[in-house]
Amino acid sequence: MDVVEIAYLLLLFGVLLDDISTFIGLQMEFRELNPHVVSLMERGLWPIVDVAILITVALATEYLDGLVERSLGRRALIAFPATLGLLRLLMGLHNTALLISVFLS
């Protein structure tokens, strides 16, 4: 498995964990604190925008990869999906920790 596959897997698992833990939390009457996400949820656009962001990051990274030399530029491009995935994974882990704390109390 190369670095590109790891970056995209990190992105996929991060988004899945964040979305699933958010959905479970909302079912348990937690509130979403991000006002942009709340606005999208109220309009029913949250899943659509989330998928659109994933597709845009993946397509842009692949397109730009073809234009950039294979040295430092490629590593910088892979940082985008990896960073986004890591951030979403951390948010998902935070949500999961909140859910566990509620179950244990």
4-8, 43-47, 50-54: lowest mean pLDDT where?
4-8
- Domain-wise residue ranges, the chain: 3-100
pLDDT in tens, 52-104: 998 998 888 878 777 776 666 677 778 888 999 999 999 999 999 999 999 89
pLDDT for the residue numbered 70: 63
Q: 52-61 long-range contacts, Cβ below 8 Å, gap at least 24?
A: 54/11, 54/12, 54/15, 57/11, 57/81, 57/84, 58/8, 58/11
DSSP annotation of 43: T
Q: What is the rounded distance in angstroms from the CA atom of residue 12 to the CA atom of residue 71? A: 25
Contact 6, 80 (CB under 8 A): no
Q: CB count, 10 Å around CB of 94?
A: 12
